[in-house]
Amino acid sequence: MPNISETYLENRWRVQPNHANNYGTVHGGNVMKWMDELGAMSAMRFAGEPCVTASIDRMDFHRPIPTGEVAVIESFVFDEGRSSVNVHLRATRENPRTGEQEMTTESQFVFVAIDEDGSPVPVPDLTVEGERCRELRERALAWREANDGEH
């Protein structure tokens, strides 16, 4: 059975002018795309099967990421259903010179594991082993509870 730490991924994208809106900050659609791509990788690592996006929970953008700074996306599986995989995602802005980070958005995506024909397939049970896994899962569950019904 996979555990949370085996699904934990982090990736960075330097915000270039082609990622920016007319205010010189990353377009929210790019951040959402990067979160979706990394979330799918966490889901596939957990399920051992291809996964497709089923839904995206609340996504609020709290601060912009200017051109030249770095978007850091963190992703991990925190819960599962029969064929669904719940992934918690957080985006931060990072100063490339100092490494200083500020949270910009947070969300949870649901992916569904599928076979070659596109039909849903069962996923394994998620295990929570170690303090780091417990902390990540508690953070994701607290976010879900705080944002439940606020769509």
* Residue 131 placed within a domain: yes
Helices (H), 69-115: none
What CATH number does the domain containing 88 carry?
3.10.129.10
* Residue 56 placed within a domain: yes
* Residue 151 placed within a domain: no
* Residue 54 placed within a domain: yes
pLDDT in tens, 74-84: 999 999 999 99
* Residue 47 placed within a domain: yes
**Residue 87 structural domain:** 4-146
Mean pLDDT of 65-73: 98
Whole-angstrom distance, CA of residue 145 vs CA of residue 27: 28
pTM: 0.94
pLDDT in tens, 82-132: 999 999 999 999 999 999 999 999 999 999 999 999 999 999 999 999 999
* Residue 34 placed within a domain: yes
CB atoms within 10 A of CB 64: 18
**For the chain, what is the domain count?**
1
* Nearest of 106, 119, 38 to residue 75 by alpha carbon: 38
